[in-house]
Amino acid sequence: MQNLSPTLAAAGDAPTAGLATHPAWLRLKDAVEALRPLQSKDGSIDLAATPRTTVDPLVDTVQGAVAELAPLFPHDAEYLAAVQADLGKWADTGYREPDFLDSLLAFRPNEHRVDGIGHLVVFPMYTQNGNPDRNLEAVLLKVVWPEWIAELEKTRFDNPGYLGITFEDFTAGYDTNSAVLFPETVAVREAPERFTWGGIFCDREAARFRTVSTSAVRQLGLDIPADAESLLQDQDRTQQTFVLWDLVHDRTHSHGDLPFDPFMIKQRSPFWMYGLEELRCDLNTFKESVKLEAEGFSQGRDVQYAILFDRMFRFPVSGDRVRNYDGMGGQLLFAYLHKHDALRWRDNRLTFDWSRVAEVTNQLCAEIETLYRDGIDRPKTAHWIAAYQLVSQYLTPHPASTWAKGPEALPLDLAEDKALRKALCDAVHPDEFPLSMFYEALSKKLSRVIAGTKGITSADVEEIAA
């Protein structure tokens, strides 16, 4: 157990659940919701349309509520003072596009990875897979950092910026499918040189996983092992499973033989490149989890179930079909296991050969890693084509696909690199790898269940289970 300062130890012991009904928090939420319809997409407020006499009292309320709540979060004193200052500077500009760089730089939750410690977060921000506009948002959250996770991060999966977090309460931008808190979503005058932290709401991911996977298992007539069944029934265990999954997944983006990094270098690529990168990180997590299980960590087996079920049951049938890279990755995993007889769909029932699943899944991981290693010696265009060829071995392209016709159908004669890459991306069909008949049927069965997980929390899933 790490040695904590008295301030952090007290903060870690302080209850956060009661804060969701704290009068200051309720005033803060109400003020933020009243500001929301007044803000433009970039977060600014047009004072020609809305007088200051309407806006100023709302911002004053937010400032006052933050000041009242700040003593409950002594570890965030510098940040919460900066939030109040940034709100004041926003008002001084006449509510032009907000700039919360100073408070963003002061917020360092990765320095306080204590299980149960709470944070009050107030930023103008968009929410990934949620609200695309930079509205002011407020979130009460709690860190999930059990000792076994802390030890694995320290000794094996170093990731100093990663946080497992849960919701206590939130404003409307998080009453969505968003399950992340990322600093790059905050409205700032300039991007910091580097981002030092990122949070994943493991309670939402766990609740969504339990709801969708339980329905899929029932709909598909799938018999699952007893430990998988007990995982689906246990919210706390599933939350910790997702903390481990995301810890290893996140660090894998910068580990391995990497011909490129699609998330740290801004560049446009065909969507299957992003799909393969996300799948590579998940399959590496799966591989590490197999090792953990062999060493006696029961959580390793839990992560394997989570990756398999979430990737194959939820990802392919979530979201729209326009360049859905996470959906493509889930389809690829299913097709690979199916073609290697690690799963079968017969007599309207899905079965897994559990004795072969880990071996075959790790085999797909090895194919993607070989693609990456070989890509270091390839030009980018050749690498894109090689990646397409790998995916299309297992997923049937759209009948109208230009890429499926082979390199001779692509505009490879363009001499200028930027123009060539744009033309190659433009040639990608919006639904380059359509759903198989299996997934078309599964989508109809699960669509309402998945839609119902919007804004879900652990409390919601327990109500469903009851």
Between residues 79 and 195, the one the model is more confident about? 79
Give the end of a domain, one of 170, 196, 222: 196
Residues 25-36, mean pLDDT to the nearest whole number: 98
For residue 254, how many C-alpha atoms fall within 13 Å in the half-sphere facing its CB?
10
Domain annotation covers residue 1: no
What's the confidence (pLDDT) of residue 260?
74
State the Cα–Cα distance between residues 55 and 96, nearest whole angstrom: 12
pLDDT at 11 exceeding the cut of 50 = no
Question: Do residue 105 and residue 237 come from a single domain?
Answer: no
Q: Are residues 79 and 152 in the same domain?
A: yes
Q: What is the mean pLDDT of the chain?
A: 94
CA separation for the pair 260, 295 (Å, rounded): 33
Any domain includes 331: yes
Same domain, 389 and 369: yes
Residues 240 and 138 in one domain: no
- Residue 201 domain-assigned? no
The two beta strands, 135-143 and 118-125, are: antiparallel
List all residues 6 or more positions away from 197 whose beta carbon is below 8 Å from its beta carbon: 108, 109, 110, 161, 162, 163, 183
How far apart are alpha carbons 371 and 67 in whole angstroms? 53
Q: Per residue in 84-118, pLDDT tens? A: 999 999 999 999 999 999 999 999 999 999 999 99
Whether the Cβ atoms of residue 281 and residue 207 lie closer than 8 Å to each other = no
DSSP 306-343: HHHHIIIIIGGGSS-SSS-HHHHHHHHHHHHHHHTTSE
Q: What tokens were used for 447?
A: 């669509």
CB 143 within 8 Å of CB 115 = yes
Q: Are residues 97 and 138 in the same domain?
A: yes
pLDDT in tens, 157-191: 999 999 999 999 999 999 999 999 999 999 999 99
Q: Kindly state whether residues 366 and 404 are assigned to the same domain.
A: yes
What is the torsion angle, in degrees rounded to the nearest 10, for the CA atoms of residue 423, residue 429, residue 431 and residue 434? -130
The CB-side HSE value for 348 (13 A sphere, CA atoms) comes to 3
Answer whether residue 304 is part of any domain. yes
Residue 417 CA from chain centroid, whole number: 32
- Shared-domain flag, residues 176 and 214: no
Residues 6+ apart with CB under 8 A from 262: 269, 273, 274, 277
Answer yes or no: are the C-beta atoms of 125 and 187 closer than 8 Å: yes
Same domain, 171 and 136: yes
Asked if the structure places residue 411 within a domain, the reply is: yes
SS3 233: coil
Domain interval for residue 117: 6-196
Residue 360 lies in a domain: yes
Tokens at residue 171, please? 């404003």
Q: Which residues pair with 162 in a beta bridge?
A: 198
Q: Are 210 and 235 in contact (CB under 8 A)?
A: yes
What is the model's pLDDT at position 415?
79
User: What's the pLDDT tens digit per position in 198-247?
Assistant: 999 999 999 999 999 999 999 999 999 999 999 999 999 999 999 999 99
**What's residue 9's pLDDT?**
45
Q: Give me the residue label for tokens 């079965």.
A: 351
Q: d(Cα 43, Cα 187) in Å, to the nearest integer?
A: 8
CA dist 11 and 120 (Å) reads 12
Q: Is the dihedral of CA 100, 102, 103, 109 positive or negative?
A: positive
Q: How many CA atoms lie within 13 Å of 227's alpha carbon, on the beta-carbon side? A: 12
One domain, residues 432 and 321: yes
Q: Is the residue at 203 inside a domain?
A: no
**384 and 428 share one domain:** yes
Task: Give which of 203, 130, 182, 169 is closest to 30, Cα–Cα.
Answer: 169
On whether both 266 and 353 belong to a single domain, the answer is yes
Q: Where is the domain boundary, 165, 196, 227?
A: 196
pLDDT of res. 268: 85
pLDDT, position 459: 87
Q: What is the pTM of this model?
A: 0.93
d(CA 85, CA 91): 10
Please say which residue of 138, 168, 196 terminates a domain: 196
- Co-location of 171 and 248 in the same domain: no
Cα distance between residue 110 and residue 92, in whole Å: 31
Given a cut of 80, whether residue 263 has pLDDT beyond it is no
Q: Give the residue among 240, 263, 241 at the shortest CA–CA distance from 251.
A: 263
CA–CA separation, 307 vs 330, rounded Å? Answer: 10
H/E segment holding residue 47:
none
Number of domains forming the structure of the chain: 2
Spatial contact of 222 and 449, defined as CB atoms under 8 Å apart: no
* Per-residue pLDDT at 456 exceeds 80: yes
Query: Is 466 domain-assigned?
Result: no
pLDDT in tens, 340-388: 999 999 999 999 999 999 999 999 999 999 999 999 999 999 999 999 9
Residue whose pair of structure tokens reads 């744009």 in the numeric block? 422
* pLDDT digit string, tens, across residues 113-148: 999 999 999 999 999 999 999 999 999 999 999 999
Closest among 136, 239, 229 to 179, alpha carbons compared: 239
